[in-house]
Amino acid sequence: MAKKTSRSKENSEIIYAPAQEQLITDTIEKNYMPYVMSVIVARAIPEIDGLKPSHRKLLYTMYKMGLLTGNRTKSANVVGQTMKLNPHGDMAIYETMVRLTRGNESLLHPFVDSKGSFGKQYSSNMRFAASRYTEVKLDSFCAELFKGIDKDAVDFVPNYDNTMQEPVLLPTTFPNILVTPNKGIAVGMASDICSFNLSEVCDGTIAVLKNPKVSTDRIMDIIKAPDFPGGGAILYNREDMRQIYETGSGSVKIRSRYNYDKAQNCIDIIQIPYSTNIEAILNKISDLVKEGKLKEVVDFRDEIDLSGFKLTLDLRRGVDPDKLMLKLFKMTPLEDSFKCNFNVLIDSNPRQMGVVEIIKEWIKFRLGCLKRELSFDLKKKKDKLHLLLGLGKILLDIDKAIRIIRHTEKEEDVIPNLMAGFGIDEIQAEYIAEIKLRNLNKQYIINRINEIEGLQAEIAKIEDILADELKQKALISSQLTEIKKKYGQPRRSQIIHIDDVVIYSEDDEVENYNVRLYMTSEGYFKKITLQSLRGNDEQKFKDGDFLTFTADTDNLADLVFVTNKQQIYRAKVADFECCKASAMGDFLPAKLSMDEGERPVFMRIQKSYPDNEHFVYIFENGKGVRVPASCYETKGNRKKLVNAFSSASPICAVFYEIEKDPYEILLVSDAERAITIKTSLIPIKTTRTSGGVTLMTMKKGNKLKYATDNIPEAYTKGYKKLKIPASGVTIPDEDLSALQLSIYTE
């Protein structure tokens, strides 16, 4: 696009200069990438102290306001003060505060002691009150976040307008990154960190401090599983949990917890998954009731009150509450998953880490904080010792010190004269000169000097700790033990091993009864109850159509349909409605949503997919193949399998063989030639799309016309072949008539 540069005064023409071209790669590098890094580093991803910048700025502001020990103040006051560090707007700051409060119930250990309405984590409709109505202060638990912050434990940087300093990190005395749940969406990455129990995290961290090479299994035995603020029941799969502990990626399944009130015949749901809310659950239950899929429930309502969360379901008489809950777990967010993605900023670089690796990084961070705290204390004590040693020198002659000060004519000469009179340095002399006259007595000076021995012992102890990392780790361990003792809580989330979990089955809801199934050559399917067949068993078919399959089974059976388009469809008998013998039945291509021109050529009641059973495919080109049934077994409940067999030649017939009981099939070509072979002669191929081998040799242009296992008596001799490939035997006219009669009446 051209750029306007000037306007001519004579003819008022606008003069344009060509715009400067810029490569898209340069635009991304100069404009987009700084934005990306800003969002990742300074906004969305938590750091090793377990906090995002918005949390840290808010908590530090409250700390500087004296709200760790003082009375509560209006939230609006805190929001206003926080804007000195966080310029993103008052509502953004207040919403950050809301999540950290005790009233919102988002955290296992809330950072903000609150008064007023702050909404609830488990409800999207329960909104928080305006900041002018609510009051807050820091919870006593926050003392562990700020311990050592005034002792140079962490770095400070200028705020956005360079008017004050703020900490880069908070020197947390426990792995807050694993205790406080955190979620953030950056550009190109996200972070989802679930919470763990504080006591378990402290014990796990102590185990890593004692043995940095501790195994993941050992940590999993200590830190058993996540612990969510809303409770719930964790469906524990050790291998899935191991993946989370080792890689920081995976998901945790959580079920709601409930009580059954027999007197009122209702279910009270008292805990729900942390990843959902009551509105989502109510909406889904409402939809199921409207669709007629939840006839067991008469009424449902939100009964949240001051005592806590409660969702009540009134049941119909005779309903089994445990079976109903299994159904609701399957069909509603009463069972949900928390997707873990432990992305953490380490030295401003995002890293996805497992639990053990996060603990090790926190230990490294905490050791740095502790060394800085100890160095700060060491310097303070050494400075104090230095002053007291100077004070000790005037003990021998207090009168001399007074005389020097009194006889010095100029104020600026007092310090040099004291230095010369007692052989002390300027700092010591300054300290002595500032002592009040009333304290220039022997008792005061002796009392102060007696502190020297204690200071020297403390200095030696600190220097000893600073010189030995094992002692530093022991000090961190003792702090963690004290934190566990002071703030530890029992687990809120129950752990249920996956082997003990009962899974809902739709078959439990389907009425079971005996039926007879029919399928025709054109793809019509009938399900008829045996009771209905007693009155009339004469079947009605479309003109030219004939029966190809019939079997007795029950309403819970599974069906398999093989089609002429190399596809297999799965269905349940219960998916079809019962009909009468006089009805046409369901048209399978429409019922199963088959492709255009697709029709079923084979149907079977399939209970399992063993290796020693086979689908036998016979193709028009005279070839055949056996494919093990196990090749069609899938983990999921897939309704359609593509590429079920070879597409090299049109399918002529499909059979099903049990290896220990092979049977004979008759192959007939359009040249009126035939052979009879056992299915055991056909080779087995584990590749589903294998074209097979030639069974019957034919002249060019000929093809197989029939393949059947319903063999007329005339074909039991003379046509049998013991090896393949085999040449066809010419069929006499009388045998051909018998065959056609057999084909169209089977």
The token pair at 239 is: 């291998």
Greatest C-alpha distance within the chain: 150
Per-residue pLDDT band at 544 (split at 50, 70, 90): confident
Q: What is the pLDDT of residues 631-644, one digit of tens each?
A: 998 877 788 999 99
Give pLDDT tens digits for 249-289.
999 999 999 999 999 999 999 999 999 999 999 999 999 99
Indicate where the chain has its CATH 1.10.268.10 domain(s): 360-487
Span 315-358, pLDDT tens digits: 998 888 998 999 999 999 999 999 999 999 998 889 999 999 99
Bridge partners of residue 338, in order along the sequence: 252
Intervals of CATH 3.90.199.10 along the chain: 51-171
C-alpha atoms less than 13 angstroms from C-alpha of 563 in its C-beta half-sphere? 21
Would you call 504 a catalytic residue per the annotation? no
User: At 726, phi and psi to the nearest 5?
Assistant: -135, 150
- Summarize pLDDT for 468-500 with one digit per residue, the tens: 999 999 999 999 999 999 999 999 999 999 888
CATH no., domain 51-171: 3.90.199.10
Instruction: Print the SS3 string covering 378-429.
Output: HHHHHHHHHHHHHHHHHHCCHHHHHHHHHHCCCHHHHHHHHHHHHCCCHHHH
Q: What percentage of the chain exceeds 70 in pLDDT?
A: 94
More confident call, 193 vs 502:
193
Q: How confident is the model at residue 743 (pLDDT cuts 50, 70, 90)?
A: low
Give yes or no for a contact between 310 and 304, defined as CB atoms under 8 angstroms apart.
yes
pLDDT of 15 reads: 60
Confidence at 366, pLDDT banded by 50, 70, 90: very high
Closest CA to 644 of 615, 619, 621, 611: 615
Active-site annotation holder among 35, 133, 160, 663: 133
0.75 exceeded by pTM: no
- What's 597's DSSP letter? T
Checking if the pLDDT of 2 tops 70, the result is: no
26 pLDDT exceeds 50?
A: yes
Q: pLDDT tens for residues 283-306?
A: 999 999 998 889 899 999 999 988
Question: How many Å apart are CA 242 and CA 216, to the nearest integer?
Answer: 7
Answer CATH for 360-487 from 1.10.268.10, 1.20.140.10, 3.40.50.300, 1.20.120.80: 1.10.268.10
Question: CA-CA distance, 54 to 177, in Å (whole number)?
Answer: 15
| pLDDT computed for residue 214 by the predictor | 94
Q: What is the pLDDT of residue 1?
A: 44
Whether the predicted pLDDT of 566 surpasses 60: yes
Query: Exposed, middle or buried, 139 (CB in 10 Å: 0-12/13-18/19+)?
Result: buried
8 band by pLDDT with thresholds 50, 70 and 90: very low
pLDDT value of position 599:
92
Using an 8 Å Cβ cutoff, are 519 and 254 in contact?
no
Cα 545 vs. chain centroid, distance in angstroms? Answer: 54
Taking CA atoms, 662 is separated from 336, 554, 614, 658, 678, in Å, by 48, 26, 10, 6, 7
User: Given pLDDT bands bounded at 50, 70 and 90, which one contains residue 746?
Assistant: very low
What is the predicted pLDDT for the residue at 738?
A: 63
Within 10 A of 474 (CB to CB), how many other CB atoms are there? 15
Q: CA separation (Å) from 177 to 226, 261, 340? A: 13, 39, 13
Look at strands 673-678 and 729-730 and give their pairing.
antiparallel
**Does position 175 have pLDDT exceeding 50, yes or no?**
yes
CA–CA dist 574, 517 (Å, integer): 12
Q: Which of 130, 96, 105 is nearest to 277 (CA)?
A: 105
CA distances from 217 to 12, 108, 288, 355 (A): 82, 25, 42, 12
Query: What is the rounded (10 degree) CA torsion for 351, 355, 361, 362?
Result: 120
Q: pLDDT category, 432, cuts 50, 70, 90?
A: confident
Q: Which fold has domain 257-333?
A: Gyrase A; domain 2 (3.30.1360)
**447 confidence band (pLDDT: 50, 70, 90):** confident
Mean per-residue pLDDT of the chain = 89
Residue 243: name the closest of 220, 227, 221 by CA: 220
* Per-residue pLDDT, 661: 74
Cβ count within 10 A of residue 341: 19
